[in-house]
Amino acid sequence: MSVLKGNALVGQSGGPTAAINASLAGVIRGVFAHRDVIPELYGMRNGIEGFLAGNVVPLLSAFDGEDKLRILEQTPAAALGSCRKKLPDPEKDEAFFVDLIARFKAMDIRYFFYIGGNDSMDTVAKLSAYLAKTDYEMRVVGVPKTIDNDLADTDHTPGFGSAAKYVATTLSEIVRDCAVYRVPAVTIVEIMGRDAGWLTASACLPGAITGEGVDLIYLPERPFSFEQFADDVREAFKRHPNLVVAISEGIRFADGRYVGEGAQSGALDAFGHKYLAGAGKVLESYVKETFGCKVRSFELSLPQRCAAHLASDVDLTEAAELGRSAVSAATEGKTGVMAALERVSDVPYRSAVTFRPVDKIANAIRRVPDAFINEAGNGITPAGVAYLRPLIAGERKVEYRDGLPVHAII
Amino acid sequence: MSVLKGNALVGQSGGPTAAINASLAGVIRGVFAHRDVIPELYGMRNGIEGFLAGNVVPLLSAFDGEDKLRILEQTPAAALGSCRKKLPDPEKDEAFFVDLIARFKAMDIRYFFYIGGNDSMDTVAKLSAYLAKTDYEMRVVGVPKTIDNDLADTDHTPGFGSAAKYVATTLSEIVRDCAVYRVPAVTIVEIMGRDAGWLTASACLPGAITGEGVDLIYLPERPFSFEQFADDVREAFKRHPNLVVAISEGIRFADGRYVGEGAQSGALDAFGHKYLAGAGKVLESYVKETFGCKVRSFELSLPQRCAAHLASDVDLTEAAELGRSAVSAATEGKTGVMAALERVSDVPYRSAVTFRPVDKIANAIRRVPDAFINEAGNGITPAGVAYLRPLIAGERKVEYRDGLPVHAII
């Protein structure tokens, strides 16, 4: 392997998480450890879109100590800003890539780290595939993040553990809140996850860990039916009067229609995904109509992905380690890969970093497997609990100032 | 003053908060400190309603150590359960009170502590007024709690500081989340507070403390107008593209109609209050229609009142101190009073416990004063910041097990 000397670029892309800055901190640590080959690390503001606009910022002087990196790690959302720009197909718009590479050359960029989800791995895949056909040597490594945990070829994704810890902690508090009254009531909590129910599945953790948990859990992986839901609620009411129900925003009927579809705008995002919201409100009306009892619904919404004050230590530690390992691997010659997590054992929990070809990851979605969903389709199995439980473990000592967590602003 | 020997009763009533169990812990500590006159403390399950059904639990053996009391203090919502029962008017239903006092006598109850809000102080007022006309000596002291901070005759109420810390922390995280993209977008966050905007006002704290905060804040204390709102949004867009707007669920137009009224069910709770929800959704539609930009809205909902993992240390400490002081004051002869907080100074923050006649408190609502709201009616003044800021200060070291906060179950 040849030693490749030159600068590095790092960017963040896609939706925010509580751990995406921990991965950035890891990349910074990795570059500091390889200063002999990488003299400077530039952050792209707003991902590749900002780079194309010349909007980059040198990072090493700003984060030249563990104290600063720890503050970066406890900062939610993408400190460099994000974008949702998808690169064109290299076969259809080669001019785009010719221009891009000219810009890399001008800054002597030889390393490119992109922290993001599915769509970001598409960028890593296209860029590394194009580079392979040129004589410009540059190494491109993806670092995963998504609260949805639906990336292929990794045991789980950074950002998920912290979001799951937020969901589990908040539901455990909501269960206490709902238990104070004796009148029959149903509280429906809508959780993010369009195609995969991982985050909603983590609603099983309060019950599994404390013995006091939510009553019913519905994921998009199983078809939803009002009749079955009514039966489930009726059964649950036999046990106690205060039901807490966790549903994924993406639950859908057997015919594929989203339960929330009626309440939606039909607007599409830049990638042609439907904006979703409203399954909880639909179920709220259904419960009111069917049971006539007190009922309310709400979405955990943005806090579930940005509640860095409640991050999982396991998650932040792994997120940082993936960032650091991506740099090491690139200096050793890897390109066109994503840093991924392999689970070594559940108890005690141990994971290891591995590298996967990014081209197979970019357009796949990893759903909750059948073995993790109970037969009735309204709860999580012990196997699912065993998978989820270690990912929310541990708490960071968050630095507060005047009552609020301190955030790093780049 | 005569020494009054006998048992004590404690109950919790009204909506949950993150600090109501800290007040319970304080009452327990107070009784331990006066074991010579109070041999046992009974908890009423589900407030006075549970007591009437004979549902009480002895508390001293269950909480005979600081380690157990600290877990109780980090437990959200009413550990004894709550109720919304309002006592009848003693002049109209004396039989009710005759029966109640017979039950007190049977258990040798001589002290009655009720932790709650406005409606709970009504119970304290009625009970103590009735007792004054009988020969059964019993002392009745109220301990305030409400996230709404709208109780009269106290500088602030336990529960508010923790809810305000949740609102401020969550908004500071949401501001970071919303800052990652460059496209114009409005995020509307709906905060609890039917008649008083205290909790929504605490949305000013991220900006005041960190310099990065929400853009616009609307309280029920000022009439809301779509025209003014549109002007405010237009002005704010001149500064940056990602607007975060905090609104109270209770904002209303100059004619008194709630902004959310159109989206509401019209259902009433046990006290004849309208259930509110929907002002955020109304504003979301208005922004979409008027500006055509990306817009979303959501409610902080239950988590803002039960997020005990993020409680304010000042709040929990004061809540416990009020409970403890209530017991001391009762043993010294006080009855028909509420333990209240007096502010001694803002910087450094200091407060003191005082006692107020409960009859004036029960049916008054303390609103955010004009001096705390800016002239434009879309933000909080420095005087308001000075009032709010100390109340969110400090963090407890929360005990976690397997990734989740430990809660006390009674």
Mean pLDDT of A149-170: 97
Mean pLDDT of A211-219: 97
| pLDDT value for A268 | 47
Q: Within a domain: residue B128?
A: yes
| Statement to judge: residues A185 and A299 lie in one domain | yes
- By CB neighbour count within 10 A (0-12 exposed, 13-18 middle, 19+ buried), where does A333 fall? exposed
The three-class DSSP label of residue B351 is: strand
Contact B302 A174 (CB under 8 A): yes
Q: How far from each other are the two terminal CA atoms of chain A, in whole angstroms?
A: 35
| pLDDT value for B95 | 96
Averaged pLDDT of chain A: 94
Give phi and psi for B21, each to the nearest 5.
-80, -25
Please give the Cα distance from A408 to B240 (Å, whole number). 19
- Total number of residues shown for chain B: 410
Q: Within a domain: residue A182?
A: yes
| Statement to judge: residues B73 and B154 lie in one domain | yes
Point out the catalytic residue in the list B148, B150, B153, B215.
B148
pLDDT tens-digit profile of B196-216?
Answer: 999 999 999 999 999 999 999
Please give the Cα distance from A237 to A287 (Å, whole number). 12
Return the C-alpha torsion angle A204, A205, A209, A215, nearest 10: -30
| Amino acid identity for residue A115 in this structure | I
Contact A174 B395 (CB under 8 A): no
**B405 - beta bridge partners?**
B400
| pLDDT value for B262 | 56
Number of domains chain A is built from: 2
B307 has pLDDT over 90: yes
Lowest mean pLDDT of A270-274, A293-297, A386-390, B224-228, name the range. A270-274
State which of A271, A304, A337 marks the end of a domain.
A304
**B295 - beta bridge partners?**
B186
The whole domain housing B286 covers 163-304
Q: Residue ranges of the alpha helices (H) in B211-263? A: 226-239
Mean pLDDT of B364-376: 96
Q: What percent of chain B has pLDDT over 70?
A: 96
Among B78, B170, B209, whose Cβ lies nearest the Cβ of A402? B209
| Statement to judge: residues B189 and B201 lie in one domain | yes
If phi over 0 gives left and psi between -120 and 50 gives alpha, with beta otherwise, what is residue A247? Answer: beta
| Statement to judge: residues B101 and B125 lie in one domain | yes
| Statement to judge: residues A26 and A151 lie in one domain | yes
Mean pLDDT of A179-187: 95
Point out the catalytic residue in the list A119, A122, A148, A215.
A148
Tokens 């909750």 found at: A368
Mean pLDDT of B7-31: 97
B187 contacts in chain A (CB < 8 Å) = 302
Neighbours of A86 (CB within 10 A): 15
Neighbours of B272 (CB within 10 A): 6
State which of B265, B283, B304 marks the end of a domain.
B304
| Statement to judge: residues A107 and A187 lie in one domain | no
Give the 3-state DSSP-derived string for chain A, with helices as H, strands as E and coil as C: CCCCCCEEEEEECCCCCCCHHHHHHHHHHHHHHCCCCCCCEEEECCHHHHHHCCCEEECCCCCCCHHHHHHHHCCCCCCCCCCCCCCCCCCCCHHHHHHHHHHHHHCCEEEEEEEECHHHHHHHHHHHHHHHCCCCCCEEEEEECCCCCCCCCCCCCCCHHHHHHHHHHHHHHHHHHHCCCCCCEEEEEEECCCCCCHHHHHHHHHHHHHCCCCCEEECCCCCECHHHHHHHHHHHHHHCCEEEEEEECCCEECCCCECCHHHCCCCECCCCCECCCCHHHHHHHHHHHHHCCEEEEEECCCHHHHCHHHCEHHHHHHHHHHHHHHHHHHHCCCCCEEEEEEEEECCCCEEEEEEEEHHHCCCCCCCCCHHHECCCCCCECHHHHHHHHHHHCCECCCCEECCEECCCCC
| pLDDT value for B273 | 46
| B274: CATH | 3.40.50.460
- By CB neighbour count within 10 A (0-12 exposed, 13-18 middle, 19+ buried), where does B402 fall? middle
Q: Within a domain: residue B69?
A: yes
B182/B321: higher pLDDT: B321
| A323: CATH | 3.40.50.450
pLDDT tens-digit profile of B228-252?
Answer: 999 999 999 999 999 999 999 999 9
pLDDT tens-digit profile of B292-305?
Answer: 999 999 999 999 99
| Statement to judge: residues B315 and B299 lie in one domain | no
Distances in Å between the alpha carbon of A253 and those of A225, A256, A260, A275, B213? 6, 5, 10, 17, 41
B10/chain A closest Cα distance in angstroms: 15
| pLDDT value for A113 | 98
| pLDDT value for A275 | 43
| Statement to judge: residues B26 and B143 lie in one domain | yes
> How many CA atoms, within 13 angstroms, populate the side-chain half-sphere of residue A129?
17
Grade residue A362 by pLDDT with cuts at 50, 70 and 90.
confident
B265 has pLDDT over 50: no
> How many CA atoms, within 13 angstroms, populate the side-chain half-sphere of residue B247?
30
pLDDT tens-digit profile of B347-364?
Answer: 999 999 999 999 888 778
| Statement to judge: residues B279 and B171 lie in one domain | yes
Q: What number of C-beta contacts closer than 8 Å exist between A and B? A: 172
Tokens found for residue A15? 């939706």
Q: Within a domain: residue B2?
A: no
Please give the Cα distance from A306 to B82 (Å, whole number). 32
Mean pLDDT of B312-317: 98
- By CB neighbour count within 10 A (0-12 exposed, 13-18 middle, 19+ buried), where does B293 fall? middle
Please give the Cα distance from A349 to B100 (Å, whole number). 56
Q: Within a domain: residue B381?
A: no
Lowest mean pLDDT of A20-29, A71-80, A360-369, B396-405, name the range. A360-369
Grade residue B1 by pLDDT with cuts at 50, 70 and 90.
low
| Statement to judge: residues A103 and A186 lie in one domain | no
pLDDT tens-digit profile of A232-267?
Answer: 999 999 999 999 999 999 999 999 999 987 544 444
B173 contacts in chain A (CB < 8 Å) = 76-77, 302-303, 306-309, 405
Among B77, B170, B401, whose Cβ lies nearest the Cβ of A180? B77
Q: Within a domain: residue A385?
A: no
Pick the closest to residue A246 from A275, A224, A273 (CA basis): A224
| Statement to judge: residues A27 and A134 lie in one domain | yes
Tokens found for residue A376? 């009735």
SS3 breakdown of chain B: % helix, strand, coil, rounded to 5?
40, 20, 40
Q: Within a domain: residue A388?
A: no
A198 has pLDDT over 60: yes
A273 has pLDDT over 50: no
Q: Which of B191, B240, B346, B404 to mutate to test the interface with A (most CBs of A within 10 A)?
A: B404
Please give the Cα distance from A217 to A70 (Å, whole number). 35
Contact A179 B312 (CB under 8 A): no
B188 has pLDDT over 50: yes
| Statement to judge: residues B11 and B144 lie in one domain | yes
Mean pLDDT of A171-193: 96
Say if residues A302 and B187 touch (Cβ distance below 8 Å).
Answer: yes
| pLDDT value for A194 | 87
Among B177, B209, B401, whose Cβ lies nearest the Cβ of A76? B177
- By CB neighbour count within 10 A (0-12 exposed, 13-18 middle, 19+ buried), where does B107 fall? middle
Q: Within a domain: residue B95?
A: yes
State which of B281, B304, B327 marks the end of a domain.
B304
Q: What percent of chain B has pLDDT over 90?
A: 90
Averaged pLDDT of chain B: 94
Return the C-alpha torsion angle B116, B118, B120, B125, nearest 10: 130
Task: Tell me whether residue A148 is one of the annotated catalytic residues.
Answer: yes
